[in-house]
Structure 1
Amino acid sequence: MKSGRRLLLALVAAVAIVGAVASCSADGTGDRNSTVTAGPVIYPLSLRYHGIDVVQDVPYGRDPLQQLDVCLPADSPPESTATPTATPTAAPTEAPDRVEVGTRPAVMMIHGGSWSHGDKATAAYRSVCQYLASEGFVTFNVDYRLAPTDPFPAGLDDVRRALDFVFRETTLQTYDVDPGRVGVFGGSAGGNLAAMLAVEDHRSTAYADGFRIRAVVDLSGPTDLTARSTGSDGVAAAFQRKQLLYLGCASYRACPAAERASPEYHVTKATAPFFIGHSTDEFIPLWESQRFASTLRSHGVPVTFVAVQGSAHSIAQLDEAMSRRVTNFLRAGLR
C-alpha cells in the first residue's frame, strides 16, 4: 500500500496532474512533494465569514506599527473579545514554568510586501486571518516596522516580540490559546520572517525546553538573501534593491546581515515541521524554496513541499485546494 502511494505521488509530481490525487498528496505531514495548479481565485477572499470576530489594533509594543489583529473562531466565549493589557517591557530572561491556560490552537500570521510595505488590514490578509479562524485557529495577524526606515533586524525583532506577546499568560487566557499548539504563517517577506522565527525558535527563553513554534507555513518566502540570490537564476535587479534596503546594505559585497536574515543558514534539527508553497514561475526563484526544503530535510525536519504551476505569488496561491492543504497541515501539526 505504501509503495503504491509513493509511486502515485511521484507520477503526480512528474506530470503535474491536478485532481484528487494531488489534493491528497499534501495533507500536512511527512516529507512530501507535489506539483499542482492553483485556481484563479484567492479562496479566503471569496468567502463570507459569519461569527468571526476581529479584535483590531492590539498593541504588542510602543511603535504604531507594533500592533496586531486577532481573528477569533465563531465558538469564542464572550470574554475572549477583551483586549489584554500590552506591556512594552522585554520578555523575561529566565524561562518560566510552562503555563497551560488555554485549549485552542493558534496561528501567528505575518503579511508580505518586500519588507517595505503591506498591512495586516488589507482585504486579502484580513480574509486569510478570518479563514484560519473559521477553521478553528485563533489567528494573530501582525504588523511590523518596515524598511528602509527600519531595516533588518527591526522587522524580525518585531515579529519575535509579537510572538512573545502571544505567549504572555494574559494573552493565552484572554483568547483561550493552548501554548503547546501555536504555529506561524507567512507569505513572501512574511514567509521569510516566519521561517526566521522558526529556525531560531530554539533560542527562546519563553519555556524551559526553548521551543514554542510547532508548525510553519511559508508561501514564497525568500530564504537566501545573500549574493547567491543575485545570480542569473536569482531575483531581478529591482528586487535586489529591495533586499538591500531591507538589509541596510549598499551592496552584497559587504553585507553580513544578508546571511543573518536568511533562514537557509540557521536550520537546526529542532526546527518545527514546515509546509512550503512556491510557484514555478514567480519572481522569487523556485530554487530558494527547493534548497531550503532540502536543508530542512537534511536536519531531519519534516517538510511538505508544494510547487504551484504558474506565477501566483504568496497568498495568491490559496485557491480552495491549497487553502485546505494549509489548514490540514496546521491541524495535524497543532493537534
Structure 2
Amino acid sequence: MRSGRRTLLALVAAVVALGAVASCSSDPVGDENRTVTADPVIYPLSLRYHGIDVVADVPYGSDALQRLDVCLPADSAPDTTTTPTATAAASPSASAAPDAGALEEAAGGTRPAVLMIHGGSWSHGDKATAAYRAVCKYLASEGFVTFNVDYRLAPTDPFPAGLDDVRRALDWVFRPTTLSTYDVDSKRVGVFGGSAGGNLAAMLAVTDHDSTAYAEGDRIRAVVDLSGPTNLTTRSTDADGVSASFQRKQLLYLGCRTYAECPAATRASPEYHVTSDTAPFFIGHSTDEFIPMWESQEFAATLRKHDVPVTLVAVEGTAHSIAQLDQAMSKRVATFLRRHLG
C-alpha cells in the first residue's frame, strides 16, 4: 500500500513538472513549467493607484529618447536635493566608476527596484502609453521602485543601439546618486520586459556579467520576460518560425538584409549568451501568439542547462506581451519579483 502511494505521488510530481494545466490562482514555486488560462483584462489597467507618484522624463543620456519615468511606491518621494540632472546623465565624467567605498555606501538603500522595458518590435512603442504606465504603477504599488525606460529605435538606430541604451539606463540606476535619490538597494534590482522589451531585458540579464562599470559581477537579481524573442537567427525562418512580416522587422532591427549574412543575429539573441551567472527568470508566453512558443521553451531549456532557475508559464490563447497580465498573472509576476528581490 505504501509503495502504491509513493508511485502515485511520483506520477503527480511528474505531471506537474511537465507543465500540466494548473489553477490560475496558484503562484509559481521554484523551477517549473505550467500552462494556465487567462482573463482578457489587463489587470494593471483596471486599477486606480493612490499615492503612486510618477517622476516623468528623467534623462539617463543626452539623446531625446534616452529618458525614463520613475514610478514610486506610496509614501515615498525622491530626495530632490540629489535628483540626477540632465547634465549629470550626459556628462562623460558621470560615467566613471565609483570607488569601492562609494558602492558600499550606495548599497544601503532600502527598496527593491525594477527596470522596465517597453515592447514594439524594436521600432516603435513608448514608456508613457497607458498600458506600460499602468504596469509601471502596478509594480510600484507592489513595493518596487520602477524605472520605465525609452530607448532608440530601429531602423534609424538598429542593433545594438537599443541594447546599449537600456544597459546605459541600468548603469544609471546603479549610480550612487540614483540609489540615494530613490532609496534603492543595489542588491535588489530586477528587469522586466515585454515583446521586444522582453528580448532586451533578457539580453541585459545574460550579458550583465560583462559590465564592470558600477559593480563587480552581476547586478540583476531577477528577470521577467513576457513574449520576448530569444533566437533571431535563421531559426526564425524555419517552418515553425516567425511570419515573413516579423522577419522583416527583425532584420530592420538587426541592420541586415538577410539572415544568411547577419552576425548581429546571434549577438542579439539571448539564447546564445546564457551563463551559470544569469539571474533567475520568469517567462510568460502564450501558446498561439505570433512569437512562436518554442522560442521561450528552448530558451528555458538553455537556462536550465546552466542551472538557472526558470518559471515558464504558458498562457492558453493569443495574448502577447503585457496583454497576458490578467489578475492571476500579475500576481505571479509580483510574487516572483518579491521572492528574488526581497
TM-score of the alignment, normalized to the shorter chain, above 0.5: yes
Sort the Cα spacing of 1:12 and 1:291 in 2 relative to 1 into closer, same or farther, 3 A. Answer: closer
Aligned to 2:165, the other structure's residue is in SS state: helix
Distance 2:11 2:195 in 1: 30
Query: What is the CA distance between 1:19 and its match in structure 2?
Result: 4.4
Residue of structure 1 aligned with 2:190, choices 183, 192, 201: 183
Query: What is the CA distance between 1:80 and its match in structure 2?
Result: 6.1
1:65 maps to amino acid? L
Q: TM-score, normalised by structure 2?
A: 0.91
Report the counterpart of residue 242 of structure 1 in structure 2.
249
1:92 and 2:99 are equivalent in the alignment: no
Query: What is the CA distance between 1:204 and its match in structure 2?
Result: 1.4
1:16 and 2:21 are equivalent in the alignment: yes
Report if aligned partners of 2:115, 2:146 keep a CA contact under 8 Å in 1. Answer: yes
**Percent of pairs identical after alignment?**
73
Distance 2:228 2:19 in 1: 24
Aligned to 1:79, the other structure's residue is in SS state: coil
Residue of structure 1 aligned with 2:262, choices 239, 245, 255: 255
Query: What is the CA distance between 1:230 and its match in structure 2?
Result: 1.2
Distance 2:138 2:163 in 1: 25
**1:1-335 equivalences in 2 (<5 Å):** 4=9, 7=12, 10=15, 16-20=21-25, 23-24=26-27, 26-27=28-29, 30-77=30-77, 79=79, 83-85=83-85, 86-89=88-91, 91-92=95-96, 96-97=100-101, 98=103, 99-335=106-342
Distance 1:263 1:315 in 2: 20
Aligned residues: 330
Distance 1:94 1:199 in 2: 24
Distance 1:95 1:195 in 2: 28
Sort the Cα spacing of 1:11 and 1:272 in 2 relative to 1 into closer, same or farther, 3 A. Answer: closer
Q: Which has the larger radius of gyration?
A: 2
Query: What is the CA distance between 1:6 and its match in structure 2?
Result: 8.1
Sort the Cα spacing of 1:35 and 1:64 in 2 relative to 1 into closer, same or farther, 3 A. Answer: same
Sort the Cα spacing of 1:34 and 1:80 in 2 relative to 1 into closer, same or farther, 3 A. Answer: farther
Sort the Cα spacing of 1:239 and 1:94 in 2 relative to 1 into closer, same or farther, 3 A. Answer: same
Query: What is the CA distance between 1:253 and its match in structure 2?
Result: 0.8
Report if aligned partners of 1:94, 1:205 keep a CA contact under 8 Å in 2. Answer: no
Query: What is the CA distance between 1:95 and its match in structure 2?
Result: 6.7
Report if aligned partners of 1:58, 1:83 keep a CA contact under 8 Å in 2. Answer: no
Sort the Cα spacing of 1:15 and 1:273 in 2 relative to 1 into closer, same or farther, 3 A. Answer: closer
Sort the Cα spacing of 1:329 and 1:6 in 2 relative to 1 into closer, same or farther, 3 A. Answer: farther
Distance 2:10 2:144 in 1: 30
Query: What is the CA distance between 1:31 and its match in structure 2?
Result: 1.2
Structure 1, residues 209-261: CA drift from partner, whole Å, max 9, x if none?
32110000000000000010111000000000000000000000100000000
Aligned to 1:211, the other structure's residue is in SS state: coil
Q: TM-score, normalised by structure 1?
A: 0.93
Query: What is the CA distance between 1:89 and its match in structure 2?
Result: 3.9
1:212 maps to amino acid? R
2:12 maps to amino acid? L
Sort the Cα spacing of 1:321 and 1:9 in 2 relative to 1 into closer, same or farther, 3 A. Answer: farther
Query: What is the CA distance between 1:79 and its match in structure 2?
Result: 3.1
Aligned to 2:313, the other structure's residue is in SS state: strand
2:62 maps to amino acid? R
Distance 2:180 2:19 in 1: 48
